[in-house]
Amino acid sequence: MPHEHFQSCIDACDACATACDHCAASCLNEQDVKSMARCIELDMDCSQVCRLAAGYMSRGSRFSAALCRLCADVCEACAQECARHQMEHCQRCAEACRRCAEECRRMAQSAGA
């Protein structure tokens, strides 16, 4: 089954999407929500692309590697933004994004793309 070969990347994408959803929701509860707008935007983008990448890998799509390269780029951008904020939810999200970016790059390389 194609997804078994990429299971660690699928798991990282799922964990990252969950962390990003939590971060975005938590950012909406911060006192200065306006200052968190970029973080929330990237959280939403990252969550969506992570779920999409996980689905593509689960189906064994021939576009998985290309999508994982994009996912890694979005994860890195989200990690950089979240790391700028001291809140625990942002720091946890940044770490999940870094792990996912690493897994996605590894997946894209191993797929020969």
Tell me if 108 sits within 8 A of 69, measured CB to CB. yes
Residue 2, pLDDT above cutoff 80:
no
Residue 111: its pLDDT value, please?
A: 77
Tell me if 10 sits within 8 A of 65, measured CB to CB. no
Question: Which of 1-5, 24-28, 65-69, 88-92 is predicted with the least confidence, judged by mean pLDDT?
Answer: 1-5
Residue 3: its pLDDT value, please?
A: 61
Residue 110: its pLDDT value, please?
A: 86
Residue 1: its pLDDT value, please?
A: 47
Give me the chain's average pLDDT, please.
94
**CATH number for the domain whose boundaries are 2-110:** 1.20.1270.360
Residue 58: its pLDDT value, please?
A: 94
Delimit the domains of the chain by residue range. Answer: 2-110
Q: Read off the pLDDT of residues 29-55 as tens digits, 9 standing for 90 and up.
A: 999 999 999 999 999 999 999 999 999
